[in-house]
Structure 1
Amino acid sequence: MKLTIIRTGGVPAPLTDQYPSYPEMFREMFEHDGAKFAYETVELDTGADLPDPGSLDAILITGSSFGVYDDVFWLDPLRDFIRTAHAARTKMVGICFGHQVIADALGGEVRKSEKGWGLGRHTYEIGCRPPFLDAPRASLSVACSHQDQVITPPEGAKVVLSSDFTPNAGLHYTNGTTLTFQPHPEFSDEYALELVKLRKGLAEDAVIEKAMASFAKPSDSPLLTRAISRFLKA
């Protein structure tokens, strides 16, 4: 199977010399899980053309510093691409911004949350349990970095992960071929911690302190990665 990664953003400038690109993070994530995918990357954020989604095996849309409400030249083409992929039942995964823009394209409501920054390792309760999600516990703790949220999911999308802070943190769509998550299983703890540090002065001090302390909790990113791998290969 070839996984087409749609890059919608990059590592912040202060960190680009220390950390791999987002597509590389996803490749490393799946390789650690033992998933045997071939990969191609579409650098949408720098003007690359989107392929025909009906011709693809599977799609993954990355995180981004942009929001669905921004005036970005590639956003409307991406929405059309998402709707076509969804209708064609092409396997599609979205992470963070990918989670948000898929919900936006398919009729949900996405906006900057009045709750502020979600930073550090958050714990999400598991809601519905599709066959590919066999985590042996009631919750998963995974790194996040966001202000925007899916406020109202599209009709028929089932909530897979939720928390008080992010009620719609994971969605599995009724067509069975679209799966999205707000947190970042591809982020290493080191990178996620650096993102928290970059938010100093933007997020409240108490939010920063809590986020930095949250990494003492073990990461469940491998369990979420396994669920995504199984979903893509099913």
Structure 2
Amino acid sequence: MKEDGHLPNPVNYDLIIITGGLSNLCQATFEPWVNTTLEWIRQVVSQQHITKTKLLGICWGHQAIASALSGSIGSFEHPRVGVQQLTLNADGKDMFGKDSLKITKFHKRFVQQVPDGFKPLAPDNEILSSDSGLVLSLQGHPEIYGELSRQLFEMNVPYYRATLPTEEDLQRYYSEMSSSEEDAKLIFRKITGWALSRHE
């Protein structure tokens, strides 16, 4: 979002990515910029039959897309931090070409109800795809692994850091991050293929 509060015109883009954030989408009321973003998501999706602009959501972006489009968001008692192996369903296997994926998790909230016109590709609504094929979103962070994961914890985001209180926990976390690199690169290859494909 620009400083003046305006968001880009989707007609000028082939792909728009909404990434991570900390704003709580479980609240009854949102900050003004969140309301603006959710309304903009609705506008982007409503125009996709004309613009063919694709929308990719990652972590908060995954939740924001669902929240904007009739889905609902829930909250865990404690943050989810580390690498999770997701077992893909039939649609997920078609998308990613394998039975499961390792993906980095940094979130406290999740998509509780899938919005109309979407289908899950993995359990617990971790990956969603629109029936149009023009929207894809993931709760996990395929872009975070290896050194980037170390830098994130050096920033010491308090409620994430609290999930790994000991040095042993932290070293285990770093080891897990390294193990997710291969699947992270696969996910981005598949996302790139999806982004470049044509949808009539």
TM-score normalised by the shorter chain: which range applies? 0.7 to 0.9
The 5-angstrom pairing of residues 58-207 of structure 1 reads 58-68=15-25, 69=27, 71-89=30-48, 90-114=53-77, 116-129=78-91, 133-135=95-97, 137-162=98-123, 167-196=124-153, 198=156, 199-201=160-162, 203=163, 205=165
Deviation at 1:232, TM superposition (A): 0.8
Task: Note if contact 2:80-2:107 (Cα within 8 Å) is conserved in structure 1.
Answer: yes
- Structure 1 segments (4+ residues) deviating >3 Å: 193-197, 210-213
Pairwise CA distance, 1:97: 0.4
Give the deviation of 1:108 after TM superposition: 0.6
2:8 is aligned, of 51, 59, 65, to: 51
**2-side partners of 1:196 and 1:152: how far apart?**
30
- What is the root-mean-square deviation in Å for CA atoms of aligned residues? 2.5
Contact 1:60/1:93, CA 8 A, preserved across alignment: yes
Are the counterparts in 2 of residues 120 and 193 from structure 1 also a CA contact under 8 Å?
no
User: Structure 2: how far apart are the matches of 1:139 and 1:52?
Assistant: 36
Q: Distance in 1 between matches of 2:35 and 2:10?
A: 15
TM-aligned CA deviation for residue 216 of structure 1: 5.4
Structure 1 residues 207-234: Cα deviation after superposition (integer angstroms, max 9, x where no partner): x926445235343101110111111111
- Look up the SS of the partner of 2:32 in the other structure: coil
Q: Residue 189 of structure 2 aligns with which residue?
A: 226
SS for the counterpart of 1:133 is: helix
Contact in 2 for aligned 1:108/1:150 (Cα 8 Å): yes
Aligned-pair distance for 1:51?
2.1
In 1: Cα distance, 2:36 partner to 2:95 partner: 31
What are structure 2's unaligned runs of at least 5 residues?
A: none
Going from structure 1 to structure 2, the CA distance change for 1:56 and 1:182 (only over 3 Å counts) comes to same
Q: Identity over the aligned pairs, expressed in percent?
A: 26
Normalised by the length of structure 2, the TM-score is 0.80
| TM, length-normalised to structure 1 | 0.69
Task: Report the 3-state secondary structure (helix = DSSP H, G, I; strand = E; otherwise coil) of the residue aligned with 1:215.
Answer: helix
